[in-house]
Amino acid sequence: MQAGTRAPHDAGRPLPSVSGRRSLGTQVYQTLREAVVLNVFAPGEPLRQAALAEALGVSRIPVRSALLRLAADGLVELGDRKGAVVTAHTAAQARELYDIRIVLETHAVRQSMRAMTPERVRTLRALSDLAESKRAEMVDARRAYYAELFDVTNNPELVRLLEELRLKLGRYIFGWRLRHPHDEAHNDVLNKIAAGDEAGVIASVEANLCQVRDGIVEMIKEEEQNRAVGTPQRSLTLRERLMEALDRGRKDDT
């Protein structure tokens, strides 16, 4: 083996993420979800059940279940002939989704501030720190942050709808945040919440969403241009690509 290369994992041996205390179905779902969000799979790329099962060292049953959940999340699309493919959004779709988020999130935070307490502000600060430090677990960490920010106890359906909208563009959000750390924007919002500055909070939330929206639109346009000119992809096996995503996740946790 040449220096600097990683030894291949035995075929059929579960990847590190697909072992432990969580249920097998949950582990497979979370592994594939993070792989999509981490851009391991390209937009429009087919996800074959048999190949994924072999790469993960599991049967097709949890993979099939995971793909159904990913389809419900809007991260993959299911078809009769092609099976599952990674969802590809256009710039116009991303802009529309973010414009909807702006309307709903400004309403949600306005509602939430009516029941805001110092204890909730402390909880939000702790969750914000976790969301920024655990990039490989961004989906779960940010879900907890937004659930508290928008007061899931009193607005469960609104919080659920907003989570669905965020997850649809999860891979782009993750990519944008790797380039642009977002902790200062969160701190700005939380400081204004603590001060009871509702107008300031609404303005900051809208400004932050507009900034991310515009960045994601540019990312999608870049992807479309790369596909048009046929930018070459690295030649890695499916198992190696999943391992790379897990390795990146562990590095981002430090």
- The domain ranges of the chain are 24-88, 91-220
Residue 6 scores a pLDDT above 90: no
104-148 pLDDT tens trace: 999 999 999 999 999 999 999 998 888 776 555 666 777 899 999
**Residue (of 246, 237, 248, 251) closest to 28 by Cα position:** 246
Q: Which residues pair with 46 in a beta bridge?
A: 85
Q: What is the pLDDT of residue 58?
A: 92
Q: Which CATH superfamily is domain 91-220 in?
A: GntR ligand-binding domain-like (1.20.120.530)
Residue 221 scores a pLDDT above 80: yes
Mean pLDDT score of the chain: 82
Residue 249 scores a pLDDT above 90: no
Q: Report the pLDDT averaged over residues 95-108.
A: 96
Residue 70 scores a pLDDT above 70: yes
Out of 24-28, 106-110, 158-162, least confident range: 24-28
Residue 171 scores a pLDDT above 90: no
Q: Report the pLDDT averaged over residues 35-48.
A: 85
Assess contact for 128 and 187: CB atoms under 8 A.
yes
- 24-88, what's its fold? Arc Repressor Mutant, subunit A (1.10.10)
Long-range contacts of 78-85 (CB under 8 A, 24+ apart): 82/46, 83/46, 83/47, 83/48, 83/49, 84/46, 84/47, 84/49, 85/44, 85/45, 85/46, 85/47
Q: What is the pLDDT of residue 154?
A: 93
Query: Nearest 10 degrees: CA dihedral of 36, 41, 46, 47?
Result: -50
pTM above 0.85, yes or no: no
Q: Report the pLDDT averaged over residues 4-22.
A: 48
